[in-house]
Chain A
Amino acid sequence: MAEEAGMFMVHQTIGSVLCCKCGIPMQPNAANMCVKCLRSEVDITEGLKKNAILVHCPECDTYLDPPSTRIRAQLESRELLAFCLKKLKLKPAGVNLVNAEFIWTEPHSKRIKLRVRVQKEVLNGAILEQAYVVEYVQQEHMCDSCTRVQANPDQWVAAVQLRQHVAHRRTFFYLEQLILKHDAAVRAIKIKQMDHGIDFFFGNRSHGVKFVEFVGKVAPVRSRSDKQLVSHDTKSNNYNYKYTFSVEISPICREDLICLPPRVAVSLGNLGPLVICTKVTNSIALLDPFTLRHCFLDADQYWRTPFKSLLTSRQLVEYIVFDVDFISPEVNIGGSRYALADAQVARVSDFGKNDTIFNIKTHLGHLLKPGDYALGYDLHAANSNDMELDKYKNLVIPEVILVKKSYEEKRQRKRGKPRSWKLKSLNMEVDETTRGRGDQEKSNSEYEQFLRDLEENPELRFNMSLYRNKEYQPSEMASMTDGEDMPSIPLEELLADLEITDAEDEDGDMRA
């Protein structure tokens, strides 16, 4: 203003006037009254709440924010301060908040005290600031969800029953890893392992629905849902239900040999009736091993005309390869490489005993070399009672269909040595009474098979998190010298497991 313009300004000393009420000399202000007189005239805290009630749930340590939200806050924390101030409703009263702080009270007293400093404009423009104390009484009242849990801890509202009618549990091991990776079962109250499947229990119908949708995205399923009336409040017309979702996963698994029903084969463009299932996500990928044609079956398409597999991976037999002759060059079908080849194989059980040799076509020409071991389906000796197969007249059934390469020999050498990686697992309740000793061994071997599958197939590992095994000693591996190493998981793929209890923790940076 004038100072900036360089004008000479006389230094102004503020004089003093007498307070118009009490007559003491003071600096002039907008009201021309000393602060004490002003305070005695006007009380800005009049009309503000000095007492309030907080409803607190002792079980979950939350405060009720009417009508139904709950706020979790520690004593003397910022969230609690904000919550308490909100209850005072200062803004509508026209005062401005300057400062607020807690006054210490004994927690047992169930009182929370706050010192609040507010400002308000009074008379002709003078702003008065005053501090006052607000006392909150904490009333204990259990919230609805805690009451329900207290009444019956196992109470569930929605149950999802996941079933797959096959003789093995490979799919469920895989699903378990997927669920862990995507945290799809965080809201589950209970997880129970059942015959041919798993049951998930949720406290809320929407959690159950979300889980069913998640499963629908990762596996070809069909589901149906139902509800059962539990209680009914006639006055408020509130109905409480128990909801159940029955989810069935298709029985087709990876590496299964399938004979397609004629209708399906025709609709897929005359795909050879014998196909191998190469990949199962929310759609099924089928590969004809002799023409190297592949196709996808959606969950809907599959369930319209459901079919079963002819032979499953339980029935895989080990073969030894004598000779491989390429028919066609290596091609890339849907992300995987295949090459059609003629091969001479013999069953390992026959090897050395007799001269039974099979000349077959195989799609694994790029993998196999003479002297390799391979796993395949023995159709020559199989007795298939499949109705679909009978429907085809004039069908030439090959004797052997090879499915994958076998690393059994190398595994023998490595037997008993721990792996460098490990997996987490869901904590499932297992019904002990219905299982016998044989079941335990069977499930162990199935799990071992699943782990081997993971090692051999990088695409299977894509969707799951593998963790570094701390007890693994890499030095032992160095002593192994063989020309062709069996497939193992490279170290970069492993995530450092986060240990909360460990004092000296790993760097814990998770690779995406």
Chain B
Amino acid sequence: MGYGLMFENSCEVGVFSKLTNAYCLVAIGGSESFYSTFEAELGDVIPVVKTAIGGTRIIGRLCAGNKNGLLLPHTTTDQELQHLRNSLPDQVVVQRIDERLSALGNCVACNDHVALTHTDLDKETEEMIADVLGVEVFRQTVAGNVLVGSYCAFSNRGGLVHPHTSIEDLDELSTLLQVPLVAGTINRGSEVIAAGLTVNDWTAFCGSDTTATELSVIESVFKLREAQPNAIVNEMRNSLIDSYV
């Protein structure tokens, strides 16, 4: 679990990296410390690939992927596409799609089984997502925001959503995704969850502004601690239910 990360003085880790169960993409930055943190944590398990997409460093917000595939926007150059195809494992399908909403990372949030997408996404793109990533696609909003990819981050074990999400929405999303969800913040009260946090099934990386409270919430909902997951989730749910009654 990496916390206290900074990419060139910004705590928005999820903007400059993309973490899945099969690979990790990292932006090319000025100093190597960002890359080396990921290397240290993940180096012997999954490949950590340095890349740019469309010449930009905000790769976390431009691409969407899970262990089955990776979707890239139409702004990706051929060289980058080739580089990614070469670096990633063979079972990961790398596909460039033509979509008007090219910041796929903001529009799509997915784990290995389910994906939530922007409500205005094209039909073809939806099919492509279902095809390449091998997931079930749901068009949803989170706390009234259509950019689901920004305001929620989830893995196969749990998820964190925008703090203003109502209880009903939380229940609905949780039913769809079949994972426990909690509303919370990242990076000292920031609501843009996926920008500050990048997570997979066994590890997560957060920005340096994240407070201890936020860290404990993340650790418990994504089950990154070694304690009994159910007990923690119930404990969390209890405290939540207590407060709104």
B-binding residues in A (CB < 8 A)? 10-23, 25-26, 28, 31-33, 123-124
Give A474 Cβ to nearest chain B Cβ, in Å: 85
Evaluate contact between A15 and B183: CB separation under 8 angstroms. yes
Report the Cα distance A17→B184, complex, angstroms.
Answer: 5
**Residue in contact with A25 in the complex, picked from B188, B190, B211, B243, CB distance below 8 Å:** B243
Q: What residues of B have a CB within 8 angstroms of the CB of A32 in the complex?
A: 163, 185, 189-191
B67 to chain A, nearest CB (A): 30
Interface contact B242-A17, CB-CB below 8 Å? no
| Contact in complex: A28, B168 (CB < 8 Å) | no
B189 A16 Cβ-Cβ under 8 A: no
Docked pose: A25 CA to B169 CA in angstroms: 19
Interface size of B as a range: 20 to 34
Nearest B-chain residue to A28, judged by Cβ: B163
CB contact list, B123-181 vs A, under 8 A: 163-170
A10-B163 in contact (CB<8A): no
Is B214 part of the contact surface with A, judged by Cβ < 8 Å?
yes
Pairs A–B under 8 Å by Cβ, sample size 14: A13-B166, A14-B167, A15-B183, A16-B183, A17-B184, A20-B189, A21-B188, A23-B213, A23-B216, A25-B239, A25-B240, A25-B242, A25-B243, A26-B243
State the majority secondary structure of interface residues on A: loop
Chain B residues closer than 8 Å to A124, beta-carbon distance:
189
Task: Say whether A20 contacts B168, CB under 8 Å.
Answer: no
Please judge, given known A-B contacts A25-B240, A32-B185, whether A15 and B191 are in contact too, CB under 8 Å: no
Chain B hits for A26, CB < 8 A: 243
CB contacts (< 8 Å) of B217 on chain A: these are 18
A17 to B183, CA, bound (A): 6
| B166: A residues at CB distance < 8 A | 12-15
A435 to B: closest C-beta gap in Å? 92
Residues of chain A within 8 A (CB-CB) of B183 are: 15-17, 28
In B51-66, which residues have CB < 8 Å from any A CB?
A: none
CA distance A31 to B191 in the complex (A): 9
**A23 CA / B167 CA spacing, docked (Å):** 19
B240–A16 CB distance below 8 A: yes
Residue of B nearest to A17 (CB): B163
| Complex CA–CA separation, A32 to B190 (angstroms) | 8
Q: Name the one of B213, B239, B244 contacting A13, with C-beta atoms under 8 angstroms.
A: B244
Shortest distance between the CB of A18 and any CB in chain B (Å): 5
Q: Is there an interface contact between A22 and B213, defined as CB atoms closer than 8 Å?
A: yes
The answer on a CB contact under 8 Å between B189 and A33 is yes
Q: How long is the Cα–Cα vector from A189 to B183 in the complex, in angstroms?
A: 79
Q: Which of B167, B168, B169, B213 has the most CB of A within 10 A?
A: B213
Contact A15 B188 (CB under 8 A): no
The one of A11, A15, A18, A25 that contacts B165, using a Cβ cutoff of 8 Å: A15
Contacting pair B216 A20 (CB below 8 A): no
A12 & B169 in contact (Cβ 8 Å cutoff)? yes
A402-B102 Cα distance, complex, nearest whole Å: 114
Chain A residue nearest to B182 (CB atoms) is: A17
Instruction: Using A14-B167, A15-B165, A15-B166 as known contacts, list a sample of 6 further A-B pairs with CB atoms less than 8 Å apart, ordered by residue number in A.
Output: A13-B166, A13-B244, A15-B183, A15-B244, A20-B185, A23-B213
Q: Which 7 A-B pairs have the closest CB atoms?
A: A32-B189, A23-B213, A28-B163, A12-B166, A25-B243, A16-B243, A13-B167
Inter-chain contact A11/B168, CB cutoff 8 Å? yes
Residue of A whose beta carbon sits closest to that of B210:
A20
Contact (A18, B213) CB under 8 Å given A25-B242, A28-B183: yes
Query: Which residue of chain A has the shortest Cβ distance to B187 in the bound complex?
Result: A20
Contact A16 B244 (CB under 8 A): yes
Write the nearest CB–CB distance from B105 to chain A, whole angstroms: 22
A33 CB to closest chain B CB, in angstroms? 6
> Would B240 and A15 count as touching, CB distance under 8 A?
yes
Q: Find out whether the CB atom of B189 lies under 8 angstroms from the CB atom of A15.
A: no
Q: Of B168, B190, B211, B216, which is within 8 A of A12 by CB?
A: B168
Give, as a whole number of angstroms, the nearest-CB distance from B14 to chain A.
Answer: 17
Least CB distance, A455 to chain B, in whole angstroms: 88
CA distance A13 to B166 in the complex (A): 5
Q: Are B240 and A20 in contact (CB under 8 A)?
A: no
Question: A228 CB to closest chain B CB, in angstroms?
Answer: 77
> Are A20 and B213 in contact (CB-based, < 8 A)?
yes
> Given B169, B185, B190, B216, which contacts A17 in the complex, CB threshold below 8 Å?
B185
Contact partners of B242 in chain A: CB under 8 A = 25
Residues of B within 8 A of A25 (CB): 239-240, 242-243
